[in-house]
Amino acid sequence: MSLPDGLAAAAAPVAPIPRGDDGAPVFSAPWEAQAFALTLALHERGLFTWKEWASALAEEIKRAQAAGDPDDGSTYYRHWLATIERLAAAKGVASEAALAERREAWHRAAHATPHGLPILLENDPLARA
Amino acid sequence: MDDHHHHSHDHHHGHDHSELSDIELRVRALESILVEKGYVDPAAIDVLVETYETKVGPRNGGKVVAKAWADPSYRDWLRKDATAAIASLGFTGRQGEHMVAVENTPQEHNMVVCTLCSCYPWPVLGLPPVWYKSAPYRSRAVIDPRGVLKEFGVELPETTRIRVWDSTAEIRYLVLPMRPEGTQGWSEEALADLVTRDSMIGTGLALRPDQMVAA
């Protein structure tokens, strides 16, 4: 499956998306594909344009490099995820505080879930209180 | 956002509970809020992941399987110490997890369940299929493995025993599928193309030469 044209064109000058010989994106872990899919869905929903997204990604990479990012491609989707988080906060969809709180909830939910069962947010012991 | 945030929680890996990495927590947190607020539909996300996951980076397991088919001494090593045999090809997991290879024979077919947390050895197998994460698959695979296989289009002779393996945080399984007929003399590279992800988790068989898509 090739990339949506707008996305490929927007990402190219900033940080080209890692792709295989056939042009399809290559992920090195399941969460990367998840972050990728979220971005496509949010764009489709109209939360941001590809141009907007690309300039946010560029900023994110600059910030990471200033903080000592290896800049070898291994952290590509970390920047990508940080970009969606930042855009979601800027658009008033999910504040940093809300994201942090929700991460803790997922962590508690995972710990309360016996190995082998699906991890559901409802399993967070505090959610049931 | 601080990328170097670390949880103060105790990250021990037991059998009793599940574990998500910091980055998985971030993705889940983001997605669940977006879903609640109606910005994304989880089913649409699954479809997108499935669409793009067909071309996944590391699927090194195919090379492992092909080498085992072509080289009996490697196959013996793989069956005795899969962790070392797989590492010898340069494929290692992030957490140094223990790999076990289970070999399919005409008498016995192996199938792996559970990839719900971080147990799934994606450096070897590539991304897990979306359906694999569902509770019904796992519970049904344990109760009625033959029925589940049939749904995947795999019908095994009644005389073939089916064994179901449940991955844990410490042990991950790789199914060594049977080498298809009509592949004598094939190079390891050509053989590796016959090894599908599903054949390495036991919900499929390796492709026959006539099933290869004309490239």
A69-126 residue pLDDT tens: 887 777 889 999 999 999 999 999 999 999 999 999 999 998 888 766 678 888 898 8
Mean pLDDT of chain B: 81
Query: A53 and A116 share a domain?
Result: no
Query: A78 and A50 share a domain?
Result: yes
Query: A73 and A53 share a domain?
Result: yes
Q: What whole-number distance in Å separates Cα of residue B55 and Cα of residue B37? A: 31
Closest-CA distance of chain B to residue A13, Å: 22
Query: A79 and A119 share a domain?
Result: no
Query: B69 and B165 share a domain?
Result: yes
Q: What is the pLDDT of residue B169?
A: 66
Q: What whole-number distance in Å separates Cα of residue B77 and Cα of residue B205? A: 22
- Average pLDDT over every residue of B112-135: 66
Q: DSSP 3-state helix, strand, coil percentages of chain B (rounded to 5)?
A: 40, 10, 50
Element (H, E) at B163: strand B161-166
In the structure, what pLDDT confidence band is assigned to residue B113 with cuts at 50, 70 and 90?
confident
Query: A17 and A69 share a domain?
Result: yes
Q: What is the pLDDT of residue B133?
A: 64
Residue A74's contacts (CB-CB under 8 Å, 6 or more residues apart) are: A28
In the structure, what pLDDT confidence band is assigned to residue A15 with cuts at 50, 70 and 90?
confident
Q: What is the pLDDT of residue B38?
A: 94
Q: What whole-number distance in Å separates Cα of residue B72 and Cα of residue B188? A: 13
- Residue A39's domain comprises 5-94
Tens of pLDDT, residues A30-79: 788 889 999 999 999 999 999 999 999 999 999 998 988 887 777 889 99
Tens of pLDDT, residues B164-210: 988 776 788 899 999 999 999 999 999 998 998 889 989 999 999 98
Query: B48 and B138 share a domain?
Result: no
- Residue B76's domain comprises 61-208
ipTM for the complex shown = 0.92
Q: Is the pLDDT of residue B13 over 80?
A: no
Query: B27 and B86 share a domain?
Result: no
Among the options B8, B18, B114, B167, which is catalytic? B114
Query: B78 and B38 share a domain?
Result: no
Give contacts of A 19-48 with B, CB under 8 A.
20, 22, 24-31, 33-38, 40-42, 45, 47
Give contacts of B 12-41 with A, CB under 8 A.
14-21, 23-34, 37, 39-41
Quote the number of domains for chain A.
2
Q: What whole-number distance in Å separates Cα of residue B197 and Cα of residue B155? A: 18
Q: Is residue B10 part of a domain?
A: no
Query: B94 and B34 share a domain?
Result: no
Query: B133 and B160 share a domain?
Result: yes
Q: Which two tokens stand for residue B81?
A: 């110490």
List the CATH number of the domain containing B157: 3.90.330.10
Element (H, E) at B213: none
Quote the number of domains for chain B.
2
Query: A84 and A110 share a domain?
Result: no
Contact (CB, 8 A) for A25 and A17: yes
Closest-CA distance of chain A to residue B35, Å: 10
In the structure, what pLDDT confidence band is assigned to residue A14 with cuts at 50, 70 and 90?
confident
Quick one: CA dihedral B47, B207, B191, B196, positive or negative? Answer: positive
Q: Is residue B215 part of a domain?
A: no
Among A28, A41, A119, select the one facing B117 at the smallest CB separation.
Answer: A119
Query: B48 and B66 share a domain?
Result: no
Is position B187 annotated as part of the catalytic site?
no
Query: A27 and A81 share a domain?
Result: yes
Query: A24 and A68 share a domain?
Result: yes
Query: B29 and B110 share a domain?
Result: no
Query: A55 and A13 share a domain?
Result: yes
Query: A73 and A10 share a domain?
Result: yes
Q: What is the pLDDT of residue B187?
A: 95
Q: Is the pLDDT of residue B95 over 60?
A: no
Query: B107 and B33 share a domain?
Result: no
Query: A57 and A100 share a domain?
Result: no
- Whether A51 has its CB under 8 Å from any CB of chain B: the answer is no
Among B18, B30, B41, select the one facing A110 at the smallest CB separation.
Answer: B18
Q: Is residue B131 part of a domain?
A: yes
DSSP-assigned letters across all residues of B108-150: EEEEEE--SSS-S-HHHH-SPPGGGGSHHHHHHHHH-HHHHHH
Q: Is residue B213 part of a domain?
A: no
Query: Backbone phi, then psi, for B175, in 5-degree steps?
Result: -85, 130
